[in-house]
Structure 1
Amino acid sequence: MAEAYPAYERRPRRRGRKVLVTLVVLLLLLGGLLVVADRVAAGVAERAIADQVERELAKQQARSAPPQVDVGGFPFLTQVLGGRYERISIVLTDAQGAVEGNAVNLPRLDVDARGVRASLDTLRSGRGDVIADTVDGTGTVAYDSLAKLLDRPGLKLGEQNGKLVVTAPVDILGQRLTVSGTADVTVAEGNKVALRFNDLSAEGLPAVPLARTLLNNYARGISVDVPLPELPFQLTVRKVEPRPEGLAVTADARDVPINQAG
């Protein structure tokens, strides 16, 4: 009888461990289901935002590959209940806008909206404003598109050592010469890029004042303010920078209704 007593006491401990293991498994399963539900809800929101962006691009007579949308922050459902979202990122690739009838290619445009405010009723009904505290955008304008806006046959733009470089065939005093040089690039009012070609040269340029005058006139003719295509989300260009892949554009906006792009 003395040996059977300890065996009798071990059974409740085993039952306790089984109950604890079962409880942990149930909590893990419940947590997994909540995570899945959270991600499903975020996915629905991302598709809805992507559809809205496509519609707004169409209104601007622009196009791109299907937008890639990511709703940041976790959990998503608590953000829905609070009516405020940490971050919404939108990536547009192979985008194309129009400027004065010419197509302008933007291989990539990244948009990052922070502090997005949207009530649950707005999400349910689709009515009302979805406001972002800040929207930042970075994009790239293809050099061939920018060159077309200058409307000079044979003109080509590129980047070298962080500077915008140009080459173009030009007729000077009956000779066909290749002009080359660099430009200063800045932001001009109205979402325009100011190009100022101050240092052009041409191999074989006749050593006469008239030849230099004609070359300077050509430089002034391509030193213009080039308009960029309308950017979504009221983005205003703040900085432009020549890079090997194209002209990098940085833009931003404040207190923007992101459900009414443009």
Structure 2
Amino acid sequence: MSETYRPRRRWGRRLFISFVVLLILVAAALAVGDRVAASYAERRISDRVAQEVAEQKATSEKPDVTIEGFPFLTQVARGVYHEIKIELADFTGPAVEGRTIRIKLLDIRANDVTAPLDTLRSGSGKVTAGTVTGTGLIDYAQLTELIGQPGVTLAEKDGKLVASAPVTALGQTVDVSGNAELTVKGDVVQVRFSDVKAAGLPDNALVRGLINSYVQKLAFQLTVPPLPLDLQVKKVEPQADGLEITAAASNVDLSSAGL
């Protein structure tokens, strides 16, 4: 009896192994197909975002787009995408008053994107993102150019923007330093310095007047260039290398971005 069951065991084992191999091949094929479809959609979005950047008379490297989440085709079927990541390297806005502002990397995230399958098939209807956020850094070198005063240095200290510069008063050259107040009004960031200190100078009305006069020259306005996807500046924070701009928008129509 044992001789008759051995072939059956071997046959059953071979069938099981073949079934597992088949499942692996099917899963691999689906994964490859899913990635191909996602790559196509990412390239399409990248092309549309690049077109929007050009229409704003801005420039950047080719947008790097990633549709987060797996599998992609399941998101297509549901018509809901968790997050779409768009990175624009070397984003430079159009000239404002003869100056251009460069953001080394503009990182955009579109979340809770709704794109019904019927809309994608027909090409009509809206594709919307519940929220879109963007962050980018404007380095201190560009900001010191806006100030236009020789010897000024900007840095972050304890979460605040600090300026320091050499000032000559009463025949002495001393370093003055002060903290900045940052105010966002639309696409304009106003920078005003206060609490200025000058070590080594007497504290009298004449010296305070000289220092206050110089401090007024340090004030400047930074106009943030138009950003893609209706992003509006919400917050500005000093970092080690520059000012970090945080922008946001809600209920954004992404149809023009290629979805």
Is this a same-fold pair by TM over 0.5? yes
Pairing partner for 1:62 from 58, 62, 81: 58
| Counterpart position of 1:230 | 226
SS of 1:62's partner is: coil
1:15 shift after superposition? 1.8
| Counterpart position of 1:117 | 114
1:235 shift after superposition? 2.0
Q: Within 2, Cα distance between the matches of 1:187 and 1:92?
A: 26
| Counterpart position of 2:72 | 76
Contact 1:233 1:260 in 2 (8 A): no
Deviations 1:167-192 (A, max 9, x none): 3456768x695653223333422132
Distance 1:177 1:58, change over 3 A: farther
Q: Within 1, Cα distance between the matches of 2:240 and 2:58?
A: 24
| Counterpart position of 1:129 | 126
Structure 1 or 2, whichever has the larger Rg, is 1
Query: 39-48 or 220-229: which moved more?
Result: 220-229
Say whether 1:106 aligns with 2:108: no
| Counterpart position of 2:12 | 16
Structure 1 residue runs of 5 or longer lacking an equivalent are none
Pairing partner for 2:27 from 27, 31, 35: 31
| Counterpart position of 1:186 | 182
What is the TM-score normalised by the length of structure 1? 0.84
Query: 128-137 or 224-233: which moved more?
Result: 224-233
1:156 shift after superposition? 3.4
Structure 2 residue runs of 5 or longer lacking an equivalent are none
Aligned length in residues: 256
Contact 1:130 1:258 in 2 (8 A): yes
Contact 1:194 1:226 in 2 (8 A): yes
Query: 45-54 or 149-158: which moved more?
Result: 149-158
Contact 1:186 1:239 in 2 (8 A): no
Distance 1:53 1:243, change over 3 A: same
Pairing partner for 1:92 from 88, 95, 112: 88
| Counterpart position of 2:238 | 242
Paired AA for residue 114 in structure 1? N
Deviations 1:8-28 (A, max 9, x none): 233223222222211111111
Deviations 1:52-84 (A, max 9, x none): 111111122222222221101111001112211
Distance 1:143 1:53, change over 3 A: same
| Counterpart position of 1:144 | 141
* 1:145-160 → structure 2 map (5 Å cutoff): 145-160=142-157
Task: Name the Cα RMSD after superposition.
Answer: 2.7
Q: Within 2, Cα distance between the matches of 1:152 and 1:127?
A: 54
Contact 1:177 1:203 in 2 (8 A): no
What is the TM-score normalised by the length of structure 2? 0.85
Q: Within 1, Cα distance between the matches of 2:169 and 2:152?
A: 15
SS of 1:111's partner is: strand
Paired AA for residue 157 in structure 1? L
Deviations 1:192-251 (A, max 9, x none): 223121133456768774453232123234334432122222222222211111111222
Contact 2:229 2:254 in 1 (8 A): yes
Distance 1:48 1:247, change over 3 A: same
Q: Within 1, Cα distance between the matches of 2:204 and 2:181?
A: 30
